[in-house]
Amino acid sequence: MLANSVTVEKSFEIWPGKLSFAAGGVGAREALDAATDMARSLARAVIEDSELLASSGNVLPRGIVGRHALEAVASFRDVHGGDLLPSLAAVPGAVCDVVLEAMRRAAGSADFVIVALGNAAAIHQEPGVVIPADTDLPPVLGEFVRALGAGIQGGMALGGIHSIMPTRGALDMVAVHSKNAAVAGFAAVLVADAAAGGFSPPKGDMPKDRLLAAGWAGRAIARAPGLVEPELIWDALSASVRQASALRDRRLLSAAALGFRGRGRTIGPVDGDRLLRFGVSEWR
């Protein structure tokens, strides 16, 4: 079934950028009203929670977004071990998850609801529904969703050099699908970081955003490299594939696509040939 009913969309400014939400079908307008109300109630708490998470202290956030982000990060501890990424990597996705839940409660039988913030998105689709191509998703995420096929639910997120979240790996782009957007956001950065095990990129500058700069203080941050030998391209991709496969084995992601200098790898049920924005000419 195509989602050809009227689609309604709105946006709201919240850290780290523009929060966009859309819905289609019966209950769509009620869903957007609920999303606006929830976004307004979250705006201040998201900053407060993110400041606590960026400080790496032992104080637990009181807001629902901060708590959801920490729950998402906790699920990675047994898999990754050692010093985990800053929990901030899960915050944009956590915002999407919380707003999506409010929309679903208000939407009734809407065909679909979508929430996107930064490089993360949370989606609910009824079986057989295809989200309209002009829905206000970040273009690469929208393309990734369509490459996953109809009826996809859960969370999607981007990582890599061209994403909002800093990375120590050199991959141009990583796209991840998981059970929710907070988990997807954290997984995307973990997968992108793993590329440093196959190729060491040049050192980059600290983020301009004060919260990201605080969260990643003292950590290696990569910038885009120049010319890279084909063997090193595949080595970097393979290092990230190993990380993605380990996360998939633990059900922390279900599909991923990775692109680096015109080469790409996919994990799980995603059609790489539909990912034109990745700029990949050879998929494995």
Per-residue pLDDT of the chain (284 residues; tens, 9 = 90+): 344 455 678 888 999 999 999 998 888 999 999 999 999 999 999 999 999 999 876 778 889 999 999 999 999 987 766 678 999 999 999 999 999 999 999 987 788 899 999 999 999 988 877 777 777 788 899 899 889 987 789 999 999 999 999 999 999 999 999 999 999 999 999 999 999 999 999 999 999 999 999 999 999 999 999 999 999 999 999 999 999 999 999 999 999 999 999 999 999 999 999 999 999 999 98
pTM of the model: 0.94
pLDDT 10s digits, 127-139: 877 777 777 788 8
Over the stretch 224-272, which tens digit does the pLDDT of each residue have? 999 999 999 999 999 999 999 999 999 999 999 999 999 999 999 999 9
Q: What is the DSSP string of the chain?
A: -B--SPEEEEEEEETTEEEEEEEESTTHHHHHHHHHHHHHHHHHHHHHHHHHHHHT-SPPP-SHHHHHHHHHHHTTHHHH-SSPPPGGGGHHHHHHHHHHHHHHHHHSS-SEEEEEETTEEEEEE-TT-B--TTSSS-HHHHHHHHHH-TT--EEEEEESTTSSS--SS--SEEEEEESSHHHHHHHHHHHHHHGGGT--PPB-PPPSSHHHHHHTTTS--B---S---HHHHHHHHHHHHHHHHHHHHTTS-SEEEEEETTEEEEESS--GGG-GGGT-SEE-
pLDDT at 57: 65
pLDDT at residue 149, as a whole number: 80
Q: What pLDDT shows up at residue 2?
A: 42
The residues spanned by each domain of the chain are 7-283
Q: What integer pLDDT is reported at residue 17 of this predicted model?
A: 92
pLDDT at 161: 95
Q: In CATH, what class is 7-283?
A: alpha beta
pLDDT at position 137 = 81
